[in-house]
Amino acid sequence: MAQTRDSVSPGRGEQVEFENEHVKVVRVITGPGERSPLRTRRDRVLIFLTDSHEMHLARGGQQKEVRHKAGEVLWRTSSDHQLENLENQAVEVIVVELKGRA
- Domain tally for the chain? 1
Write b or e for each residue in 42-75: b if 16 or more Cβ atoms lie within 10 A of its Cβ, otherwise e.
Answer: bbbebbbbbebebeebeeeeeeeeeebeeeeeee
Give me the domain span that covers residue 29: 3-98
Q: How far separated are the first and last CA of the chain, in Å rounded? A: 24
pTM: predicted TM-score of the whole model, two decimal places:
0.82
What are 29-68's pLDDT values in tens digits? Answer: 999 999 988 888 899 999 999 999 999 998 888 999 999 9
pLDDT at 17 over 70: yes
CATH number, domain containing residue 87 = 2.60.120.10
